[in-house]
Structure 1
Amino acid sequence: MSDEPDHAPDHAPESETGAPGVTVWRAMRQPPQRFLLSSRPWRAWAYLLSGALVGLAAVILLAVLTVSGLLLSVVGVDLVIKLAATFGIPVAALERRRLRLVEPVPVPDPHRSLIGDTRRGRLRTRLRERSTWRELGYVVVFGPVLTITGIGVALGLTFAVVLTAAPLIVWGTAPGSVMIIPGQAVESPLHALPATAAGLLGLALCAYAAGLLAGAQVKSTVFLLSPRDEERQVVELTRSRARLADAFEAERRRIERDLHDGAQQQLVALTMTLGLAEMELRENGSPTTELVSRARGEARLALTQLRDLVRGIYPQVLTDHGLDAAVAEIALRSPIPVGVDIDLPRRLPDAVETIAYFTVTEALTNAAKHSDATEITVVGKLRKGRLTLVIGDNGNGGAVPSAGTGLQGLADRAAILKGRLVVSSPVGGPTRVHMEVPCSA
């Protein structure tokens, strides 16, 4: 079979709403030999036949969930009803994947990412989305339609294939025992050739009928299961925030690299030069020795401050050795004793390590400045692909993220990574900073 119609000229451009054009309808406008000898009819048949199985299974499962929910609602159990309401979500996801059989342009998922950490929280979020109810309506309306359409196409294809293979059927059985037309037996394979011609014509008609039906289903599926404009804006906003966060991290690393390789090295050279000058002047008994010595001390102080600044911008130990080593290093510099318990089986993505490191840094800085704490603990675990980080102290509490402590900015950055940061700091203490970030974000 030739696949010429499957090349780029057949790919329909996206419409103004972002939905893909009906490619199979475009292919049907070509000369019949090109369409019939391409892969389009086979894809349309596969799409419709698989739709019959999906539609039948979806209708049966939805009916079972609905009936079970109604029966259990008598005793106050409504969870099954809520599950039935969200049943369209996995079916819709499967339908968007099945569209790739006949459409080259994928349909995006209209649902926004979930941040809640409990199943009931995720369920409540999904029930508030309009796309969830559109998908449920799709299952209710198009489940039977997909089933009936697929069965009709299967029967038509079966009949056309039987007619096309009539000579082989007659040859493989006793001549005169096969009746293509009721009451008239076929005496030899040669007499079955007209049935083959009718079967080939039937296959051609089935190909065009399948193309029309598949295109109609594509239009309906795209209309119901693709995101609306407001849903697209939410997705694009999330992506733009992620791009801004990536650009911010890249710029911070560039500044750290420039300071480390430029100004820091020059200060080191200046300190060494002043040291040599001090030695020379001291040997000659010059009265300017004390001035040079003071200048050398100020240069060393500036170098120390610059090193602390570079370490605060982006620590090299975080890049080289990971989060656990970086947190252990800042714990050693803390004026308050810090107990560190970070158990990570592997390195985490750069963005996750960065937000976790600066969360610990900000929490330790705030504790040292405001809490009067005598002990701080840092615990980090990786569970089910999510980094859980808890920083606690025994200070006097009263921390407010919106009061300019830097925690609000960290919470915003965690939200970009589909995570969350929660601060619990009642007056009188203790203070507890809890952060969760999925490592797949």
Structure 2
Amino acid sequence: MPKRWSGDGVLAETTAGDRAPSGEHERDNWDVAVWKVLRDRPLGYLLTPWPLRSLAYVLSGAVLGYALLIALTVLVLAGVTLSVFGVGLLILVAIATIGVPVAAVERRRIRLVDPEPMADPHSLLSGVGLKGWFRARLEERATWRELGYVVTLGVLGTASGAAVALLVAFSGFLAAAPLLVWAVAPETVTLLPGDPVAAPADALPASAVGFVGLVLAGYAAGLLAGAQVKAARFLLSPRDEGLSTRVIELTRSRARLVDAFEAERRRIERDLHDGAQQQLVALSMTLGLAEMQVREENARARELIARARGETGLALEQLRRLVRDIHPQVLTDHGLAAAVTEVALHNPIPVTVDIDLPHRLPTLVETTAYFTVTEALANAGKHSGASHIDITGRLRDGRLYLAVTDDGRGGADPGTGAGLRGLADRMAILRGRLTVVSPLGGPTELRVEVPCSG
């Protein structure tokens, strides 16, 4: 089964049978709960609690919007009037953040008609003080969207809520007409233009009109509540720009960590080459001189010195191999194609290398690609039973495409080992993609796609 790592480092397994039809199990983020009821149960809507909840939401929004409209008017006038004294500027700054507490209230009030919770788009602040809080909030786009919501609620929310309230009040008055006629003298009650009503039964037409008005008010409240919820979610919900900024910064910080690791690796390589390696060479020469100074009759001492020289040579060879494995010099001097060719020459399985690159790639890309190839060759030598391996590499549209294919038995499972998963993590740093295709019976193909933009 094909197994793929994308740039986020997540392993995904897909088969044709697992794919759902397009659009299935998807949720419309703008679909409000009260609108769902209106759409799915238009006739039974009035028998549910949703009309009352919608009325409560719209009417409470009208009261809140009216209060906000008065507060904004007073604060703006005060700020403009007192701006000559400097105090007005502080008032105007405070007006810019008035949407923050209002939005917090709205995220709770919205649950009346849409149970889906709404996240707070603001960053968490602690220990910054009042001045720091204002500065941080004024720098956030969410604060200005919330201020726009306050103005929208104050104007449109108040107007729509007042219209619904008038419709409900007038319809309720007409619906209760027979009771009013019965309770009050007929000659003092005029429900509709014309003659005064003489009996409660004569008020039934007006009552019917009132009930129709109440029904219309229930539906109008639901529609208005849904529209207000959509506006609230559009202005008060978190936007992608903050998340995108954090993701970009995280990617950059991760790349900086990799660069720091690369610099530290080069320092260790240099210390091993110039320090421990040179000391072992000097030790070997010293032992050689000591061997020459030992008398012929002291064969036992000469034998021990010779053994020590041999062990020193082995340690020096292992150290040199370790230095090469950390970062081959040929990769630094001549690039990816030459480094992969050198590895292929020493591989126990015959390898054909076909890497054609027009120019040198960024250091991190070359390093990642090189270690991907070496890991693939090591895995093929240990597990595949292959008799031949092909390596191809091309640069197209600013992206490096590598493929390592062996003719082994296949059946490789990237999820069982840490080697390929580590390579996938390397790919994630560069926002690359690592794909392993290894059906039973082979062949096994490892494909790498790495952007070279840096």
TM-score range, shorter chain: 0.3 to 0.5
Scaled by the length of structure 2, the TM-score of the pair is 0.46
TM-score (norm 1): 0.48
Higher relative contact order by CA 8 Å / sep ≥ 6: 1 or 2?
2
